[in-house]
Structure 1
Amino acid sequence: MRIPKIELNNFSNLITGLIKQADNIEALCYALNKLTLEDLEKVKTYFSGSATRIVAVRQREIVMGSFLAGMMIFLFNLYQSNLVVFFFWALFFFTCLLSFFHLLLARKPIHQQIKLAFNRTKYDRIVSIADIILNQRYENQLQNTIEAFSPNENIEKVDSTL
């Protein structure tokens, strides 16, 4: 399925405009209310996405590091007299220390992750407001559909005359 470039440009302009308005909730609600149902669903789908959460990435690294550290301690205790195992254990220990000092000294990656987390809160705000608006519109459409299929008073009058 090919999407025209004009439509992609319009959608990217819409997304950047919503991101700029994400701090002002009233302006964001006004902008989202102006969108059509299809555009609102696209926006919600785009912002909900499958972005990785920083906490999940860090937790995975901690679990993997803990497993490797536990295996290294086990192997070191099992083969204490072996010089090769001691060398690998010492190398792993110094690697862990260097990565710890890297986290303390290098502020740039940490600031990037904080910026990503801050932007994710904006995106979550947009998704939650879009979800509320979509639910209201779906309720209105359902109510209109129910009213369209409900029997009218005219039909009841016709049935009583027969």
Structure 2
Amino acid sequence: MKIPKIELENFSKLVTGLIEQADNIEALCYALNRLSLEELEKVKTYFSGTATRVVGIRQREIVMGTFLSGMLIFLFHLYQSNLIVFFFWALFSVTCVLEFLRLLLARKPIHQHISLAFNRTKYDRIISISDIILNKRYEKELQNTQNKFTPTNNAEELNDTL
């Protein structure tokens, strides 16, 4: 499905405006309330995405590294007398120390992850507020639909006369 370039530009302006207003909840609520139902659904879908939080990625790396290092220590103690196992253990230990030093000295990736997590909290705020607004609008639509199909007093009077 092709989307016209004008529509994409308008949507990108809308998204950047919402991101700029994400710190001020009142302005964000006002901006989201002004959107139509279709635009609000697009915004919610766009910001929902499949992005994972940085904390989950780091936790997975820590668990995997802990498991591998525990296995390596176990194998080292089991086969201490074997020179090849000792060589791999020493190589792994040096690699771990160098990786730790790289993380300490290279501050830029850590700051990028923090900014990504901060932006993700902004997106979550936009999603939660748009979800509340969408639920209220859906309730109104449902109520309007129910009102259309409920019998009126005129129909009841007609049934009485028959």
Q: Give the match for residue 51 of structure 1.
A: 51
**Is 1:29 matched up with 2:13?**
no
Q: Give the match for residue 64 of structure 1.
A: 64
Listed one character per residue, the Cα deviations across residues 95-141 of structure 1 (whole Å, up to 9, x for unaligned) are 11111122222211111111111111110110010000000000000
The offset of 1:21, in angstroms, is: 0.7
Q: For the residues of structure 1 that align with 2:11 and 2:60, how far apart are their CA atoms?
A: 34
Q: For the residues of structure 1 that align with 2:107 and 2:62, how far apart are their CA atoms?
A: 19
Q: For the residues of structure 2 that align with 1:19 and 1:90, how far apart are their CA atoms?
A: 49
**Is 1:20 matched up with 2:20?**
yes
User: What is the aligned length?
Assistant: 162
Counting only pairs closer than 5 Å after superposition, residues 78-89 of structure 1 correspond to structure 2 as: 78-89=78-89
Counting only pairs closer than 5 Å after superposition, residues 58-137 of structure 1 correspond to structure 2 as: 58-137=58-137
Q: For the residues of structure 2 that align with 1:3 and 1:106, how far apart are their CA atoms?
A: 41
The offset of 1:78, in angstroms, is: 2.0
What TM-score, normalized by structure 2, do the two folds share? 0.96
Unaligned runs of 5+ in 2: none
Moved over 6 A (4+): none
The offset of 1:83, in angstroms, is: 1.4
What TM-score, normalized by structure 1, do the two folds share? 0.96
RMSD (Å) for aligned C-alpha atoms: 1.0
The offset of 1:161, in angstroms, is: 1.5
Unaligned runs of 5+ in 1: none
Counting only pairs closer than 5 Å after superposition, residues 121-160 of structure 1 correspond to structure 2 as: 121-160=121-160
Identity fraction in percent: 75
